[in-house]
Amino acid sequence: MNKTELIDRITTEILKILAERAGTENHIQSPDMSFLDDDMVEQMKKKTSARIGVGKAGPRLRTGTLLKLRADHASAKDAVLCSVDEHVLKELGLFQVQSKCRTIEEHLTRPDLGRQLSEEAVQTLSDKCVKNPRVQIYVSDGLSNMAVESNAGDLLPVMIEGLKDRGIETGTPFFLKYGRVPTMDSISELLNAELTCALIGERPGLAAADSMSAYITYKARVGIPESKRTVISNIHENGIQPVEAGAYAVDIICQALEEQATGVDLRR
């Protein structure tokens, strides 16, 4: 049974059960997966971090699976609630500014404030950053401080050096606390950047709490449609390696500058 036939068989079994139980209050029974042999299951488990083929103890998860699930959930919470280690920022040579959010609770409940720079941040960026940069790169916690600590140390230098090797100077890098993706639009307007790239922590899941994305926007301005952004996501140890992602981001940025476009307007 090849991969396509396997997927079709699984889908058919699930749809059959759903169709039989539609409109009733009965509990949906498990689909018949007896056609899957142990080798097929092991191959599937190697291709995904999803919890498949973990078995059960009666109606519940096995103890080992349950403990791992709780540990991953705790790690995801820590990724959001803990602050970035100041030593990491110091090693990267990044000074810190903040959005209009004052606390982590406000950051999580008021995304509108996270999209705006505080008055102090505006003043600091105006004083410390190079104006009119061709490319402005900055790092932000977003929804995973762990992503910054795990990836920025490899990702940011690769991008800066890679662009420099291609004759493209970058602006002054910095760290934005309590930031959201659209904050890059305010930063772009303030510094008058031709292209802005935000390296930001993504919402953690139970498979990856340290995932980072690179959002790249040409001529970013407040109110710009999300479709105008290009994003490289899933940057972490078990996804796209930070060094590889940095090299790819350099290629995308160079193409975007050449075509003067990002997002849906950028040809692939």
Task: Please check if 181 is assigned to a binding site.
Answer: yes
Helix, strand or coil, per DSSP, at residue 225: coil
149 is in an annotated binding site: no
What is the biggest distance separating any 2 CA atoms in the chain, rounded to whole angstroms? 66
Give the dihedral of Cα atoms 228, 240, 69, 104; nearest 10 deg: -50
Cα 193 to Cα 79, 105, 215: the distances in Å are 30, 31, 14
From CA 102, how far away is CA 99, in angstroms rounded? Answer: 8
CB 148 within 8 A of CB 170: no
Annotate 180-195 with DSSP letters as a single string.
-TTHHHHHHHHHT-SE
Residue 32 and residue 29: Cα distance in Å, rounded? 9
Amino acid at 210: D
Task: Point out the annotated binding site.
Answer: 181, 202
Q: Which residues are annotated binding-site positions for adenosylcob(III)alamin?
A: 181, 202
